[in-house]
Amino acid sequence: MHPTSEGCAPDLAQVGARALEQVKEAVALYTPDIRFVWVNHEFTALTGYPPHEIVGQPLSVLRSGFAADQEYPAMLHQLHEQGHWQGEVWRRKRNGELFPALLTVSTLRDADGELEYFMDLFIDMDRMYEARSRLEFMINHDALTELPNRRLFWDRFAHLVRRAQRYGTTVGVFFLDLDNFKAVNDLRGHTAGDRLLIQVADALRECLRDADTIARVGGDEFAVLLETVDPRTTENEILARINAALTRLWPQLEGNLCTGISLGIALYPRDGSDPETLYAAADRAMYQNKLTKGLSDRLR
C-alpha cells in the first residue's frame, strides 16, 4: 500500500463514524454529565430509541431500576481510573421491555487528556444465546431434514453403548437406505429428491418415540438408535412400524413415484460390543437386505 499524500488524507473522524454505524453492536456516545450525544443504527434497532429522541437524554432512561443499577457509581470510578469497564447489566427499551446486555464502556479523551465522551458498546445477551444455540443446532443437525447429523449420531451412539455396558441393557441401531433414490433425483430433479428426504424424515419421527434418535447419516441413509430394547421383539416390531409409515408415504409422492427402503439391524451386545462394530453389522445387514430384494426382483 502506498502512503497517502496529505492532500488525499481521509477524514478519520468520518471514517470512524461510518465504521461505528456498520458494527453489529449497539454503540452510544454520551457526555461526562451522562447525556447521549450520538447513537448508531444498531442502538436504535435494539432499544427502539431513534436518535432524535435519545440525544440529550440522560443515560438513566435505559436503566432497569434493579438493585444492580447501584453499581453505576463504582463503574464510573473504574472508568475514570482505568478508562474502561465491562460487565453484564439490565437495560430498558423504549417500550419498557427489559433485556440483559453485555456492556463495554470506554472513555474518550482529547489531546490534553481531558474527558470528552464515554462510549457504550453493548449486545442483547438473549440474542447472543439464541444465535449460539442456533449455531450449535446447525453444527449437530442436518440442514435439510433438521435430524441429528452423523456427528451427533456418533456422540449419542457412544453414550448409549457406555450406558448399556454399565447397566447391562440393550441398544439397537437400525440402518435405512432408500431404494433407487438416484433415479428419483435423475428423473424428478434434486428438488423432488430433497422433498422425499424431508417426507421420509417426518414419517420416521411419527412412527418412533421422541426418546429415539433418528439421524441422517448420508445422502439417502438414515439411522435410528433405541435404548433398552427387547431383542426378542424389537426387530420385527420396529421394522413393521417403519414399513407401515413409509408404505403410507409412497402413494402420496408426486407423480405416483414409488420407492422403498432397505433396512439393517444390529443389537448390543448380540452383534458387537462397541459402536463401530455395531454400525458395521447394521450396515452389512442393510446391504444384504438390498441384495436380497434385488435378487427377488430379478427372479420374478
Residue range 76-95, pLDDT digits in tens: 778 888 889 998 889 999 99
Average pLDDT over residues 257-268: 82
Pairing of strands 115-124, 84-92: unpaired
Average pLDDT over residues 169-187: 87
Q: What is the pLDDT, as a whole number, of residue 152?
A: 95
- 220: annotated active-site residue: yes
Output the pTM of the full model.
Answer: 0.66
Q: For the chain, which domains are there?
A: 8-130 (3.30.450.20), 141-299 (3.30.70.270)
> In whole angstroms, what is the distance from residue 165 CA to residue 269 CA?
9
Q: What is the pLDDT, as a whole number, of residue 283?
A: 93
Average pLDDT over residues 104-124: 91
Distance of CA 109 to the CA centre of its chain: 41
- Determine which one of 120, 124, 179, 220 is catalytic: 220
Q: Which residue has the higher pLDDT, 111 or 65?
A: 111
HEC readout, the chain: CCCCCHHHCCCHHHHHHHHHHHCCCEEEEECCCCEEEEECHHHHHHHCCCHHHHCCCEHHHHECCCHHHHHHHHHHHHHHHHCEEEEEEEEECCCCCEEEEEEEEEEEECCCCCEEEEEEEEEEHHHHHHHHHHHHHHHHECCCCCCECHHHHHHHHHHHHHHHHHHCCCEEEEEEEECCHHHHHHHHCHHHHHHHHHHHHHHHHHHCCCCCEEEECCCCEEEEEEECCCCCCHHHHHHHHHHHHHHHHHHHCHHHCCCCEEEEEEEECCCCCCHHHHHHHHHHHHHHHHHHHHHHHHHC
Contacts of 206 (CB under 8 A, 6+ apart): 245
Q: What is the pLDDT, as a whole number, of residue 61?
A: 92
Residue range 101-113, pLDDT digits in tens: 999 999 999 888 8
Q: What is the pLDDT, as a whole number, of residue 298?
A: 42
Whole-number average pLDDT of the chain: 84
Predicted confidence (pLDDT) at residue 300 exceeds the cutoff of 50: no
